[in-house]
A and B are shown apart, each in its own frame.
Chain A
């Protein structure tokens, strides 16, 4: 059974949410503040973390920073509707996706499933399969990435996006397709998630010999991983 860690300060809400998610066949543990949550992540491993942004003491963003220091576990943030700054800051710090709060728990469970499905290595992939694009090497079975033989640490969403681009290297992939395949949901209006994720991938990968970034934005069309 897959394990979910819920970090939210609203005790009653967490109780109900726990009950709901457990009914969907997950094992759920809860933490009522960021510090406790980050501590639990150190002690045991979880498949996915659901993190509320608005919390007293260590707030969601700070908690995310603390988690990302030693873990690449997928993180879904619960953000207030319409609060774009929190979303972008969260995505920049390596959150995988966000769900507005309040929203239906069904939506949250769907997002959890979408991310977990992606993260799980498919058994059909041959362990030695390798995608190489220039200096970039990707092992889909282990979800490992290397640039110039240096290993690159990516969050799971960043990895998924890079894998899609690498499989279509040289071609333009639209933002809509990227969102659908990597996040498991259609792109919402004014949604900047994909841009934020890709900009953080760019920072983690090196430059091409001619000084360009290997991932190019194609205005109004999407993104492209350069072949050479």
Chain B
């Protein structure tokens, strides 16, 4: 039994004892008064009978000693003792349980749940317990995702490091081919630098540190530059990119409030992703339209698509579909795109096209 229990106990016990004794004293006073009255009446009757003058000189003296309700008070004291013990236990037990849960959470064990151990009671203490459970679940999930991310980051950094090691080995083994080995080493170090940069961007976006620097963005212009870059890049593998704009209104400029460079990055990442997983001599088609004050950008490729059960998780960092052997890139692009789009109040979803390929749809609210 903890300190709190004894405090509760003494407090309740004293309170109940005081009230029992108080009632006892009150009862005994009332009792005494009634006794006095009765005595007086008896005297009066006696006087009336004997017609003797009233005896004023002789004060009233009780015939027996003062009546005090000792038995009831004793019983009350015992009852209050028991009730105080129960009541103290009733209040201190959930608090003790909470304290233990917090202590184990502080020690890193976030699997403790107290909701069930509270039984069927319903009060603020139970609410507190439930709030703790919710907190523990949330913290556990956050911690787990952070650990997973860290694990993946270390793995992801290892791949370029492994290639670096082999490139160095090759340079040692064949000094005559030094130049090509050095080119490889350089490429790997640039790749690692890019990866670290993207990771920083992603973690900033995820933690919400970046405050959107909103301005009016002309999505039309933005898309044009993204597509120009993509066309240039696709040329080598003979991938064509067509761009269709379907507008209901005559207004040909799609514009919204947002941060231009971030939006550029998000759309660029999605288009590049489509390009990367496209086979040579295929099409990437980009369509924009406005539906119910939402700007919809659809990017379709003719690649292998993504397994149905993986459609939701392709926007998680470092996810790589099992349909591909692609090892270029870091697997962070779509995760960054998702964070940016969501920061702008939009949504991004992926689905497989029946005829083959992946379709990524970005929806951004017109502001």
Note whether A and B form a binding pair: yes
Which chain B residues (156-171) contact chain A, with CB distance < 8 Å? 158-159, 161-170
Looking at chain B's contact residues, the main secondary structure is helix
Structural contact, B165 and A20, CB atoms closer than 8 A: no
Structural contact, A105 and B166, CB atoms closer than 8 A: yes
A70 to B173, CA, bound (A): 36
B163's partner among A13, A23, A24, A32 (CB-CB below 8 A) is A13
Number of A-B contacts (CB under 8 A): 54
Q: B residues within 8 A CB of A17?
A: 166
- Contact status of A56 and B167, CB under 8 A, knowing A10-B159, A16-B184: no
Structural contact, B162 and A20, CB atoms closer than 8 A: no
Structural contact, A102 and B165, CB atoms closer than 8 A: yes
- Contact status of A102 and B173, CB under 8 A, knowing A20-B166, A32-B325, A56-B322: no
Structural contact, A106 and B169, CB atoms closer than 8 A: yes
In the complex, the chain A residue whose C-beta lies closest to that of B167 is A16
Q: Does B320 lie at the interface of the complex (its beta carbon under 8 Å from any beta carbon of A)?
A: yes
Q: A residues within 8 A CB of B167?
A: 16
A33's partner among B158, B169, B184, B325 (CB-CB below 8 A) is B325
- Contact status of A16 and B325, CB under 8 A, knowing A23-B173, A56-B320, A102-B158: no
Q: Does B117 lie at the interface of the complex (its beta carbon under 8 Å from any beta carbon of A)?
A: no
A33 to B322, CA, bound (A): 11
Structural contact, A13 and B320, CB atoms closer than 8 A: no
A54 to B154, CA, bound (A): 13
Q: Does B327 lie at the interface of the complex (its beta carbon under 8 Å from any beta carbon of A)?
A: yes
Q: B residues within 8 A CB of A96?
A: none
Q: Does B174 lie at the interface of the complex (its beta carbon under 8 Å from any beta carbon of A)?
A: yes
Q: A residues within 8 A CB of B97?
A: none
A contacts, CB < 8 Å to B: 9-13, 16-17, 19-20, 23-24, 32-33, 54, 56-57, 80-81, 101-106
B contacts, CB < 8 Å to A: 155, 158-159, 161-170, 172-174, 184, 320, 322, 325, 327
| 6 A-B contacts (beta carbon < 8 Å) | A10-B163, A17-B166, A101-B162, A102-B165, A104-B165, A106-B172
